[in-house]
Amino acid sequence: MSAPILGIDLGTTNSVVAVADGVEARVLPTELGHRLIPSVVSFRPDGTIAVGEEARERRLIDARNTVYSVKRLIGRPYEAPEVSRAKQRFAFDLVKNASGGVVVDVRGETYTLTEISAFVLREIKRVAQVALGEPCHQAVVTVPANFNELQRSATKAAGRVAGLDIVRMVNEPTAAALAYGYGAGRAERVAIYDLGGGTFDLTILELEEDVFEVLSTAGDSFLGGDDLDLTIAQHMARNLGQETGWDATSDPQAFERIRAAAEWAKCQLSAQPVVKVEVEDLEGPEGPVDLRTVMDRPELEDLIREQIDRSFEVCDEALTAAGLRPTDLDSVVLVGGSTRIPLVRERVEHFFGKTPRTEIDPDLVVAQGAAILGLTLAGDGGRKRRRLDIQKKTSAELDRLRKLREERRQELPPQPAFAPTAQVEAPPPPPTPPPQALRKKPKAEPSLIEELDLDELEPVSSNSLKADLARLGFDTPKPVSTAPSLRRDLDSLGFDPLELDLPDHLDSDVPVDLPTVDAPPRIHGQAKVGVGGASGRENTAPFQLDDPLAFDDGGLPPLPALESEPPGSATPLTTSRRDGTLAFGTGTDAAPIPSPSLSLGDRPAPLLMDVTPHALGVELTGGYAQVLIRRHAPIPAEAARVFSTGRDDQDSVSIRVCQGESEQFAENQPLGEVELTGLPAGPRGTVRVQVAFQLDASGNLDVKAIDVTSGREQVIRINLLGGADDQELDALSERHEELVGNA
């Protein structure tokens, strides 16, 4: 029997790995029972590396050589404004490489951000293999909904370097919706409020049984827990400066320790009204300096309120794109550790007019949804798999690991730091009752999907739901009509080939006028999943859509009884100590929250219908951009145009591709160039090439060219800005193997 496909939430601050075995979806713990794996890589003086919890602790003593929170920068060109902002925040150095990308300079060596993410993915893979007792080579990896093509491509490359075949990338909010809604028998409209460590996304979906359709998504790539921590740390540093006259932000290592304490205080204040923070022996210019302060919840809320309010500007954007109002939603689901902050939950409830749902741990729900999708992609073999056993450590081995951890922590400065990986928190609010706007299918009514017909199939219309609701006396929400009909096929899109003069480069003096492209059709019945990294190999995993849809009375399946915390998890401590140890935990008496196991049962495979977060286009003469695939187009998607050569015997052309909504090419995100070579000789305008842009289910962009005259097809790779080719990725993989072997 094949190994399971892992579900990985590759987070900015922490990562999570889960597996679904046909019985339930479970989060896999580390050897010490922690379910959150810090997304941190530290380069030790002896040339070895640390990843995870130990690496995070090294931020307190070696910030210059400890790298974290680079997820929001992966795939971005060095000149991007996000990189400029990040350079001012981190103690480690970000520099430009030869291809215009970003690399980290540590201990005289440079590492791409793809490599840094690969170190984290390799550690996640190791944790999973230890927990399951078997090799794991495939994974579904989640990414922020607002990630562009460069970022998705770099994430997939990181998987390849780490020895993981990323069979599918799925947007984090979509994965969370899958964990909440799969098998629940719901018909509802849901908003996923995802406030993670580095990004914020608001995604709106419609759920019909096991069909998950994304209506819209919007995001902010610099709004997350890290940004809240920075605000709190700057406040602490200002107060310290007023007391001592020393600006702690001028010392990267000292300020790093204050940031760690700020994160700890933020987490504490989610569970208790006031905390005392002591950061001792900061290295000031005239000797050791101690930071001692008391912070209460109102003070914290005053500091972060403006940032939290920014998230609702994003919510407005997503609602507008979907043609909805907050009152049109049935449920709001919280995702991300920062949604534990009471102010966030209070503001979410006020904005949407309903209590947010928190039945599943917001830190774990994304990985669990990815694991469910992984089970689907594994086919029948995965669904028939029996329960996977989690390998248990002996008492002697646990004692040895605890001793090593405590010895390591004796070298750290005395202070509270970071959020707890053992996930200790106050009990969440009671679960929200199921929304009233649910219907039970009349028994005499035929199945909504009797037989699979790809030409006729379309998701259940919300109009039929509204008619039923009206008959039952419920208020019907505002209609949603922003996406085109799902029934169209490629032949009915009205793509009339355009004989256009195509110069050597589209920004030359020859004008090119491309018409607006209607949204491509949604592809039903199967998902094309890239499984070969950069090799381009595809695997077609059919979805099971011929099971009849039935609507229950609503409500999530009951969660199983909570288990005790895995042995070996850290005992929560609540104060800093002079003995040189760290204070971990939340400072409350709340019981540890275990990994919730989501019962799956015998359900048909889910159908995910996601959208692209950004428009895709090409550069035209005069610096303009022409959109080929619009924003929020359903994916998988395809758009094509026919070009003709602009001069006699022209054998190649170059087209610049961008992602964004602006009519000005320079205001969008350049992705790279498409080079078409080997064109047959002929007079100007007689050689015609059809160029097709294809977005797969993971949001990855491929380009295909067809010689219209001969019918010869050519697959073209985009030369992504800052990207690495196959040879470079192989070299990175070899270096990884060597570094990990020495760790």
What is the mean pLDDT of the segment spanning 184-197?
Answer: 90
Residue 195 resides in a domain: yes
Helices (H), ranges, 391-500: 395-409, 462-471
Q: Indicate which CATH number applies to the domain containing 695.
A: 2.60.34.10
Residue 8 has a pLDDT of: 98
pLDDT tier for residue 566 given thresholds of 50, 70 and 90: very low
Whether 440 has a pLDDT exceeding 50, the answer reads: no
Residue 523 resides in a domain: no
- Of all residues in the chain, the percent with pLDDT exceeding 70 is 72
Residues 15 and 80 in one domain: yes
pLDDT tier for residue 715 given thresholds of 50, 70 and 90: low
What is the mean pLDDT of the segment spanning 209-227?
Answer: 91
Determine phi and psi for 533, rounding to 5 degrees.
Answer: 60, -125
What is the mean pLDDT of the segment spanning 685-705?
Answer: 81
pLDDT tier for residue 185 given thresholds of 50, 70 and 90: confident
Whether 490 has a pLDDT exceeding 50, the answer reads: no
Give me the amino acid identity at 123: E
Residue 641 resides in a domain: yes
What is the mean pLDDT of the segment spanning 35-47?
Answer: 95
Residue 695 has a pLDDT of: 84
Q: Indicate which CATH number applies to the domain containing 58.
A: 3.30.420.40
Whether 585 has a pLDDT exceeding 50, the answer reads: no
Residue 478 resides in a domain: no
Residue 210 has a pLDDT of: 82
Residue 499 has a pLDDT of: 36
Residue 158 resides in a domain: yes
* C-beta separation of 642 from 688 below 8 A: yes
Residue 558 has a pLDDT of: 37
Residues 647 and 598 in one domain: no
Number of C-beta neighbours around residue 96 at 10 A: 14
Residues 625 and 563 in one domain: no
- Among 564, 594, 609, the domain boundary falls at 609
Residue 385 has a pLDDT of: 56
How would you write 595-656 as a 3-class SS string? CCCEECCCCCCCEEEEECCCCEEEECHHHEEEEEECCCCEECEEEEEEEEECCCCCCCEEEE
Residues 674 and 604 in one domain: no
pLDDT in tens, 342-376: 999 999 999 999 999 988 899 999 999 999 999 98
Residue 12 resides in a domain: yes
The tally of CA atoms less than 13 A away on the side-chain side of residue 548 is 9
Q: Any idea what DSSP says for residue 357? A: B
Nearest to 7 by CA among 146, 131, 213, 168: 168
In sequence order, the 6+-apart residues with CB closer than 8 A to the CB of 342 are 270, 297
Give me the amino acid identity at 558: P
How would you write 151-179 as a 3-class SS string? HHHHHHHHHHHCCCEEEEEEEHHHHHHHH
* C-beta separation of 612 from 700 below 8 A: no
Q: Which of 240-244, 499-503, 553-557 has the highest mean pLDDT?
A: 240-244
Helices (H), ranges, 625-687: none
- Of all residues in the chain, the percent with pLDDT exceeding 90 is 43
Residues 592 and 618 in one domain: no
pLDDT in tens, 304-350: 999 999 999 999 999 999 999 999 999 999 999 999 999 999 999 99
* C-beta separation of 167 from 5 below 8 A: yes
What is the mean pLDDT of the segment spanning 242-257?
Answer: 95
- Among 562, 588, 609, the domain boundary falls at 609
Residues 188 and 168 in one domain: yes
Whether 661 has a pLDDT exceeding 60, the answer reads: yes
Residues 578 and 672 in one domain: no
Give the range of the structural domain holding residue 83, as residue numbers without chain letter: 6-224+304-434+554-609
Residues 333 and 217 in one domain: yes
**In a 3-state reduction of DSSP, which class is residue 341?**
coil
- Total domain count for the chain? 2
What do you get for the CA distance between the two ends of the chain, in Å? 32
**CA 249 to CA 259: how far, in whole Å?**
10
**CA 225 to CA 267: how far, in whole Å?**
10
Residue 248 resides in a domain: no
Whether 672 has a pLDDT exceeding 90, the answer reads: no
Q: Any idea what DSSP says for residue 490? A: G
pLDDT tier for residue 457 given thresholds of 50, 70 and 90: very low
Residue 172 resides in a domain: yes
Residues 592 and 635 in one domain: no
**In a 3-state reduction of DSSP, which class is residue 173?**
helix
More confident residue, 469 or 209: 209
Residues 563 and 644 in one domain: no
Residues 594 and 661 in one domain: no
Residues 507 and 570 in one domain: no
Q: DSSP readout, 545-604?
A: --SPP---S--PPPPPPPPPPPTTPPPP--S--TTSPEE-S-SS-PPBPPPPPEE--S-P
Determine how β-strand 719-720 pairs with β-strand 669-676: antiparallel
